[in-house]
Amino acid sequence: MAKNDWKKELDKILKDKKSGSSIIADNIENLFKILPEKELYQTAKKILSVHSSMGAVINRVNLLCLEREGKIPKKIKNDGEKVFTEFWDEHFSKKRWITISMSHWVTELLKRGKELDIIVGISYPQKEGLITADILSRYHNIEVVEDCALVSEVEDSDGIIVGADLITDEFIINKIGTHFLALAANYFHKPFYVISSGDKYLTSELSILFKVKTYRRGLRKVNVFESIPRRLISEIKLVSPPYIFETSECVKKIIKKTK
């Protein structure tokens, strides 16, 4: 392996604006396998600055730093298949679903449904919804619509399923447009489900690193992610338990500089 391959991998991670947080977190883990020890702090700092709105990224960086410090966290079991099976056992007759943006766990869940009609919001500005539509088109009937048109589909749907970039006890964070869908679901009395993994859950200390990312549109800065209060969510389904680990010394140092 070339001496500076880790720099190329880091550059890819920092420029990735379309992948879901679980995929980015996995790429970070691969990066850390070839990352020189002396580059640990600066690399972790750069990643946490760029992907500060993704709970899975924050948690994965912390866990990888803990491993470098010789503190091997307990492995968390993934019960995704059990969650998927239980969901479709309960909702086998529901065929018309709405989702937005790109989520690994949403696509994995929907792939296991039978004969579904799925409406996908394009999800601006990066159009991640097109990735979701492409994946699910191999299994179901897919219609891609503008984000602003999603609300008109809610009344005739069987429910909404979205992912989460971050989870707390009071709210979740997901791609902009999700709050809009949650309000419409409540108005039309449709279930609004969140499916995610426990690595999206942040402890109070790690949540200090969280920032809602924005992008520039003309002279204005616009949020890419938004908060959805728990009261609008029918149920959060986790394929693994919440991540509740100690904070690594490396990440503590970054938090100290952040304050």
Tens of pLDDT, residue by residue, the chain (259 residues): 455 789 999 999 999 987 888 889 999 999 999 999 999 999 999 999 999 888 999 999 999 999 999 998 788 888 999 999 999 999 999 999 999 999 999 999 999 999 999 999 999 888 999 999 999 999 999 999 999 999 999 999 999 999 998 898 889 999 989 999 999 999 999 999 999 999 999 998 998 998 876 666 666 666 788 899 999 999 999 999 998 899 999 999 999 987 6
Residue 209: φ, ψ to 5°: -80, -15
Nearest to 9 by CA among 45, 41, 47: 47
> CA 181 to CA 25: how far, in whole Å?
27
Is the CB of residue 175 less than 8 Å from the CB of residue 224? yes
pLDDT at 259: 67
- Number of neighbouring beta carbons within 10 Å of residue 65: 23
186: left (phi over 0), alpha (psi -120 to 50) or beta: alpha
pLDDT at 219: 62
> CA 41 to CA 134: how far, in whole Å?
37
State whether residue 237 is helix, strand or coil: strand
User: What is the rounded end-to-end Cα distance, in angstroms, of the chain?
Assistant: 38
DSSP string, 209-235: G----EEEETTEEEESEEEEEGGG-SE
pLDDT at 21: 85
> CA 120 to CA 13: how far, in whole Å?
25
Nearest to 112 by CA among 132, 133, 92, 131: 92
> CA 5 to CA 7: how far, in whole Å?
5
pLDDT at 34: 92
List all residues 6 or more positions away from 220 whose beta carbon is below 8 Å from its beta carbon: none
pTM: 0.82
Q: Quick one: which H or E segment has residue 141?
A: strand 141-145
pLDDT at 78: 86
Residues in the chain: 259
Is the CB of residue 198 less than 8 Å from the CB of residue 241? yes
> CA 106 to CA 98: how far, in whole Å?
11
> CA 146 to CA 58: how far, in whole Å?
31
Strands 171-175 and 225-229: antiparallel
Nearest to 209 by CA among 63, 68, 72, 59: 59
pLDDT at 17: 82
pLDDT at 82: 95
